[in-house]
Amino acid sequence: MNPIGRVLGRRPSAPLEFYVAVSAGEVLALDDVIHCSEEVPEKGRVSFYGVVESVEKIHEGLTFDSDVELVEQGILPVETAYVGKVMTTRVEPELFIPPQPGTPVYRATGSQLDTALYFDCMKHKLAAGLMRNGEVAYLNYDFLCGVKGAHINISGISGVATKTSYALFLLYSLFHNDQMAQEVANSHTVIFNVKGEDLLYLDLPNSEIKPEDRLVYQRLGLPCQPFQSVAFYAPPKSGSTLIPDVVRMQGVTSFVWTLREFAEQGLFRFLFADAGQGTSQLEFAVERVSHILQREARQNPGQELVCHGVRIRSLEHLADLLSEAVDEEHSDWFGKVAMGTKQAMVRRLQAAVRYIEPMIRSSVDQPEKHRFNYETRQVTVVDIHKLHTRAKSFVVGAVLNTLFERKEAQASPFPRVYVVLDELNKYAPRHGWNPIKDILLDVAERGRSLGIVLVGAEQTASEVEERIVSNAAFRVTGRLDAAESQKPSYGWLAGTYRLRASIIKPGSMIVHQPELPSPLMISFPFPAWATRPEEVAQDLEAARSELDGLLNF
């Protein structure tokens, strides 16, 4: 193999970065992976591996900027210097010396590529997309599932960064990984659908998939097909009906809680999940009422909820009772809570009731059919896109609470559950109290021991609780606002990656993982599953029948 250039001698060569003078006729681009080696006295051969961080060309010997015109006219003879800056990713053996100027530099392929990017150290590899050189990029599954680390954080501009699309691709790659087939066969994922009905068609083929897209899936070692095991949940329409409030009806189940379940599971506090800059006094009042509801529900068995001898008929009825208790000097509900705090809590409760009451029923026929259960299918989509902000927060909190309590009761990380939550900055803001934030912090800090992995996404990581972002083993970003990319939350974007984050196209992501000191620019394929109604080739029933026929073939 011919070298693509040599280690430059005119600029300093250092152990962690050096420059390459590109040979005539060769091309060196950003993200190219290179290697070189040299004999070191008494140490043997030392190999250097790295990723090209920047490249530049310059006319050598010119004095004025305008001289370029004379060069093009052939009047001034000059040479063009083509130089690339390399960020060192690995040195084998670990003797951190600068590479010798003049040393031949080669493009890394095959085993050299695996060594340069630590793919050779990964016991369990997960296909993460294609690199610029067309080779498959891998993530270390042990840093995702909780063996060595856990969690993924994805940032980027809404509608451009394709955050949810990439999260879905990673899960698809995981669920079709033959190397870990036995473990992932029993894994689950819970996805909150927050924008349109985009995620209500994951089990149907995408009519816009092209032959070149299928080749990418083939290159990644993945089948080109929709998700195979999906359950859909959506809130019911207003009124007494339990019909899901979505366009797609087939295969979608409405989710509701009875008043007794609402009390027993301590869901009252999630009525205040959008409190934002909440105070410790308000938090105390909310937790007190939530505790009383749990206690009364356990002490008064039966299908109905009875508190202090009163049968609670609806969420609105509960709000009225608490409103009446505000003026009582020695209320069983509030105890010694200050008047201002009681009034603030009741105001927020009354404002939330009309948005959340359709999902809280006094009684439900066959409640088990409308109860959230992530264990029935591999993928569970919880649709909340039509709900008011207060109702969205309530559902996210209630579902996470159910999941967390169930995993705690299992006392085992198996089967693992991957939670995909967009708009993370809303549910876990950097400042202020929020009951959902408490759960997400628990997931981030000890979820790996319970088998809960958070795949969080947001437009601005700088607005998310720092402990949640810092606990993510994998950092990913799509297109970023230029000002946002300069904030400390993106310190992992080394070199020119901060600038590049503001111009990358949809379908490309910058990925950073623990073992590799340099981020990787990767691209992922067009979804093989429909992401909106227009992408479904035929009506839902026909598509479902076709898919069932393929599965039974």
Question: What whole-number distance in Å separates Cα of residue 280 and Cα of residue 286?
Answer: 10
Could you identify the residue written with the tokens 């749990």? 294
* Adjacent-strand bridge partners of 509: 522
- pTM of the model as a whole: 0.93
Contact (Cβ atoms closer than 8 angstroms) between residue 476 and residue 512: yes
Element spanning 361, H or E: strand 360-361
Residue positions counted in the chain = 553
Q: What percent of the chain has pLDDT over 70?
A: 96
pLDDT of the chain, 553 residues: tens digit per residue = 899 999 999 999 999 999 999 999 999 999 999 999 999 999 999 999 999 999 999 999 898 999 999 999 999 999 999 999 999 999 999 999 999 999 999 999 999 999 999 999 999 999 999 999 999 999 999 999 999 999 999 999 988 879 999 999 999 999 999 888 888 889 999 999 998 898 999 999 999 999 999 999 999 999 999 999 999 999 999 887 899 999 998 999 999 999 999 999 999 999 998 755 556 788 889 999 999 999 999 999 988 999 999 999 999 999 999 999 999 888 899 988 999 999 999 999 999 999 999 999 998 888 889 999 999 999 999 999 999 999 999 999 999 999 999 999 998 899 999 999 999 999 999 988 789 999 999 999 999 999 999 999 999 999 999 999 999 999 999 999 999 999 999 999 988 999 999 999 999 999 999 999 999 999 999 999 999 888 986 554 444 454 444 444 3
Question: What whole-number distance in Å separates Cα of residue 454 and Cα of residue 456?
Answer: 6
Q: Which CATH superfamily is domain 130-255+372-552 in?
A: P-loop containing nucleotide triphosphate hydrolases (3.40.50.300)
* Adjacent-strand bridge partners of 104: 6
Coil vs helix vs strand at 434: coil
Could you identify the residue written with the tokens 């946002």? 484
> CA triplet 9, 13, 19: central angle to 5 degrees?
70
Question: What whole-number distance in Å separates Cα of residue 432 and Cα of residue 35?
Answer: 49
Contact (Cβ atoms closer than 8 angstroms) between residue 179 and residue 90: no
Contact (Cβ atoms closer than 8 angstroms) between residue 201 and residue 248: yes
How does pLDDT run across 276-319, given as a tens digit for each residue?
555 678 888 999 999 999 999 999 998 899 999 999 999 999 99
Question: What whole-number distance in Å separates Cα of residue 524 and Cα of residue 344?
Answer: 48
- Give, rounded to a whole angstrom, the gap between the first and last alpha carbons of the chain: 47
Please report the pLDDT score of residue 81 as a whole number. Answer: 96
Please report the pLDDT score of residue 549 as a whole number. Answer: 47
Q: So where are the chain's domains?
A: 5-116, 130-255+372-552, 257-361
Q: Nearest to residue 381, comparing CAs of 510, 259, 252, 278?
A: 252
Please report the pLDDT score of residue 279 as a whole number. Answer: 61
Could you identify the residue written with the tokens 């409640």? 367
> CA triplet 472, 473, 479: central angle to 5 degrees?
70
Reading across the β-sheet that carries 508-512, which strands appear in turn?
136-140, 125-131, 520-523, 508-512, 474-477, 152-155, 452-458, 417-421, 188-193, 379-383, 230-234, 252-254
Question: What whole-number distance in Å separates Cα of residue 128 and Cα of residue 109?
Answer: 18
Name the token pair of 155. Answer: 């940032």
Query: 163 to each of 109, 437, 487, how far by Cα in Å?
Result: 30, 21, 19
Element spanning 355, H or E: helix 339-356
Q: Which residues contact 190 (CB under 8 A, 6 or more apart)?
A: 374, 380, 382, 399, 403, 417, 418, 419, 420
